[in-house]
Amino acid sequence: NTDMLQMREGLGIIRRNLVNVIDAIAKFAAENRDLPCLGFTHYQPAQLTTVGKRACLWTSDFIRDLEDVEYRLENLQFRGVKVTTGTQASYLALFDGSAEKVKQLDVMVAGKMGFAEGKIAPVTGQTYSRKVDASIAQVLAGIGASVHKFCNDIRLLANLKEMEEPFGKSQVGSSAMAYKRNPMRCERATAIARFLMDVSTSPLHTAAEQWFERTLDDSANKRLAMAECFLAADAILRIVLNVSSGLVVYPATIAARVAGELPFMATENILMAAVKAGGSRQYLHEKIRQHSQASAQRVKTEGLDNDLISRLQADDAFANLDYEKLLDPSTFTGLATIQVDDFIAGCVEPIRQKYADLIGKADSELSV
């Protein structure tokens, strides 16, 4: 029963941390809702998105984690007074065979501990089912996966110099190379997240290993695994809150990377515009193919800038097009900006309203 109280309190702390992480990343998403950036699939350049839309993907994962935590809190059952093998035989003897009094005692004790009558385990062995531990551990491991994905993305973006975690004024980025600014916070979080995902499998083995009403080989393992799961989840959420509250964006670098890839992405629009101007689609398609391959070869083998647009502008078949309009990055992001607005209004705001008393109450101070 004490374990149930501790886990209920622990899940409450995790819920508070998640709410604050969701709020912080959503604020970042709103601030950058319409900033076009290069999308990546397979870590290769893909269609444009926006910095804010990408942040919504991170936020969405943490919302799923919050929903899982809420489910576990809402369905957590108190073991109650069931005695050694769960039959309540000792209490039945104490109350001279009155089953009603035994049941009443179960409800009274649960109520004193803050569990309603419908939140008492109907049957148990000597302990509550260790499947409870396993289920909670998997929820915490899910948080580990979300944190790992978020922090890995920030680490990759830092390498691209598009975005980075906050960096202290006197912080040492590398003990060997003074010029470096290693993503130390995110590296720390991914390391702990991997540990969390690994240790979360142990409660499953403990649940599987139980013999009949109970065997004691669960005890030492449980006291290590469940405590470490909660401590690790709390630590990585605090790191994410610290990072997401101080993310630094470099729009000029983002724009330069977009400009380097956009000419290739814009060829379909350029082709359609040239056809509308009276050109032959088959002829124009072949011209674009030739110019694109020549430009790509220049980029790959000579390390020079992408000159596809200047090549097209110099070609009479494409000379009179409105390239400023055709190459406006905002026209390549689809509904990304609207999706950010809709997501925040429909998914984040209800959380902010529901947990208004928790926002701003999580500790994100780190020693770096």
In the set 174, 219, 280, 330, the catalytic residue is 174
User: Which two structure tokens, joined as six digits, stand for 234?
Assistant: 């709390």
CA distances, 170 to each of 61, 239, 241 (Å): 33, 19, 21
* Alpha-carbon span 63 to 52, nearest angstrom: 16
Catalytic annotation, pick one of 42, 170, 175, 367? 42
Lookup result for tokens 């500790």: 363
Angle between helices 51-74 and 2-31 (to 10 degrees): 160
Concerning whether 205 is annotated as a catalytic residue, the answer is no
What does the block give as tokens for 280?
Answer: 């032959």
Asked if residues 169 and 195 have their Cβ atoms less than 8 Å apart, the reply is no
Active site residue 291: no
State how far the Cα of 52 lies from the Cα of 29, in Å rounded to an integer. 4
Which candidate, 362, 179, 151, 160, places its Cα nearest to that of 243? 151
Residues assigned a catalytic role: 42, 174
